[in-house]
Structure 1
Amino acid sequence: MQTLMDVASLKERLDSGRRTVLLDVRWALGDPHGREHYMREHLPGAVFVDLPSELAGPADPARGRHPLPPLQHFQASVRAWGVRTGDTVVAYDDSGNMAAARLWWMLRNAGLADVYLLDGGLAAWRAAGYGTESGERQAEPGDIVLSDGALPVIDAGRAATWAEQGVLLDARAGERFRGEIEPVDPRAGHIPGAVSAPTGGNLDDDGRFLPPEQLAARFARLGVRPGVPTAVYCGSGVTAAHEIAALAIAGFPAALYPGSFSEWSNNPSNEVVTGPAPYGDGAAD
């Protein structure tokens, strides 16, 4: 199943009039101004998606900083963005798809097959010389009916023992994995047995995903193999979705730990480890 759409393919779709729902997920940790960025400039026809309120439920120490929202809540949001049954959906952001991948994962998990990440996002669209627009785009309400559970997930109990049977990847920055800093969660370090695989290592210098063979080689260095169960976590379950997208491009299925380290580190009974990963710190990739 294809994960990415390049800007030339998207432009051709839009020019041909084929129905395409464009969703702008402008969000980054420490930057609460996503809507303002969207209002200044976005792809023509794109609808803004607010990650904290539409792609997450309220923060809860027992579930993490960005727990998955109830299905009915998510379905109402997706309909408000104008998504109808059978639509092609393309999500993007301006940060290498670090935020848009959360929406991609949630829609795939909800049963939508025809959903893609715009490779390179807004920067690639600009670089190609294509036009943008400003202001708010309101969509006609859609009629999509969502399901749940199309993609694998794990909870804290399974994360605790995952490394005994497979590979548990930590998608955060290497310094957070090693416990050198921790800007938002109560304890610094990582889940025992996890391997450091920062999401930045999935991208080239232009913010596009690396080719499949390079991603496959990267993950192989971190212990990922065909037939070996792989799961991913990050700080709050957002950038872990980016890792899962990269793994999919490389041909590896992977499960998401939605609560991620923000859930794990809030439970004092969960062990937190510091130092490098057993396969070497993925920050170098």
Structure 2
Amino acid sequence: MPHLIDATAVSAAIAASASVRLLDVRWRLDVPEGRPSYLAAHLPGAVYVDLERELARPGHPEEGRLPPPSREELERSARRWGVNEGDLVIAYDDNDSVAAARAWWLLSARGVNVGVLDGGLRAWVAQGYPIEAGDVQPHPGDIVLGDSEPLAVDIDETARAHLDGVVIDVRSAAHYRGHATGADPASGHIPGALNVPTSAYIRGDGTLESPEVIREVLRSAGVDVRAPIVLYCGTGVASAHSALALATAGITASVYAGSWSQWARDRRRPVAVGPTPAGAYQGW
């Protein structure tokens, strides 16, 4: 199935089959708890997914803020969501599909037939499709996840990745340059990384740009799409969205899941600041 599904196709899939499971992945950095918004309005039959507890696992600070769950942990969550073998899973959110892409990244690697609702809740409502309120508690599913891991790299692989490939920091220019402070102990970027914000792939209505535009964004940033590509962000969520965008353009990329929240906590790792990949070294 395609990685992205528009609202019309989602509505048709729901009408045609009972084997469609909708996942509401409402999450954002400034409002990490999406359940209240979910309870107020969601797609009919959609199950709420807690990104920080089900699409991540509790970890030590040195692992980053949102380390991916194990296969067993993700399988337990998917069964709680009511996902059965052979189901079509469609994830969505209310923030330009950034959080929903995390579900896509984790589940697609495990063999689940999963796509993302292009434009999310906003697109669904704009098309005039119905919404409902309240909680949905489905019967437990029987899905068995595959053993293949998501395309991910660790901190040491990321440190070397720019030598024979491309490292892309998908955060805003302010975070990349070290002008924005946050929850992490250092500001700046990984030396050698280019800056291509994931927002560059998003249209004003929250839908994803065309494959042609995505490829042009990368070309303009100096990215060789034939080389191995590693993506990182603050916590490993926005980088999954960039992985989704690249996948729609036929480009494979790995995600550094620990992302800046791990790198910035390791005092052995250099920090660059400024607008260029090499930047200027910033000490601790």
TM-score range, shorter chain: over 0.9
Scaled by the length of structure 2, what TM-score is found?
0.95
Matched with 2:93 is: 93
Moved over 6 A (4+): none
Q: Is residue 160 of structure 2 the alignment partner of residue 168 of structure 1? A: no
Alpha-carbon distance, 1:115 to partner: 0.6
Alignment of 1:92-171 (within 5 A): 92-112=92-112, 114-171=113-170
Q: Is residue 218 of structure 2 the alignment partner of residue 250 of structure 1? A: no
Contact 1:167 1:223 in 2 (8 A): no
Contact 2:272 2:278 in 1 (8 A): no
Contact 2:19 2:86 in 1 (8 A): no
Distance 1:126 1:77, change over 3 A: same
Alpha-carbon distance, 1:40 to partner: 0.1
Counterpart Cα distance in 2 of 1:125 and 1:118: 8
Contact 2:191 2:278 in 1 (8 A): no
Alignment of 1:50-65 (within 5 A): 50-65=50-65
Alpha-carbon distance, 1:190 to partner: 0.5
Counterpart Cα distance in 1 of 2:227 and 2:33: 40
Alpha-carbon distance, 1:268 to partner: 0.1
Q: Secondary structure at the match of 2:272?
A: coil
Counterpart Cα distance in 1 of 2:278 and 2:123: 33
Contact 1:26 1:49 in 2 (8 A): yes
Distance 1:272 1:100, change over 3 A: same
RMSD over aligned CA atoms reads: 1.5
Q: Secondary structure at the match of 1:21?
A: strand
Alpha-carbon distance, 1:108 to partner: 1.1
AA matched with 1:209? L
1:19-51: per-residue Cα shift (whole Å, max 9, x none)?
210000000002133000000000001000000
Structure 1: unaligned runs, 5 residues or longer: 281-285
Counterpart Cα distance in 1 of 2:88 and 2:276: 39
Alpha-carbon distance, 1:18 to partner: 4.4
AA matched with 1:8? T
Structure 2: unaligned runs, 5 residues or longer: 280-284
Alignment of 1:1-285 (within 5 A): 2-112=2-112, 114-278=113-277
1:64-92: per-residue Cα shift (whole Å, max 9, x none)?
00001122111100000011111100000
Counterpart Cα distance in 1 of 2:65 and 2:153: 17
1:97-131: per-residue Cα shift (whole Å, max 9, x none)?
1101000000012222x210000000000000111
Counterpart Cα distance in 1 of 2:79 and 2:41: 23
Q: Secondary structure at the match of 1:99?
A: helix
Scaled by the length of structure 1, what TM-score is found?
0.94
Counterpart Cα distance in 2 of 1:217 and 1:58: 38
Q: Percent identity?
A: 43
1:194-219: per-residue Cα shift (whole Å, max 9, x none)?
01111111100000000110011111
Contact 2:169 2:193 in 1 (8 A): yes
Counterpart Cα distance in 1 of 2:22 and 2:34: 16
Number of aligned residues: 279
Contact 1:108 1:150 in 2 (8 A): no
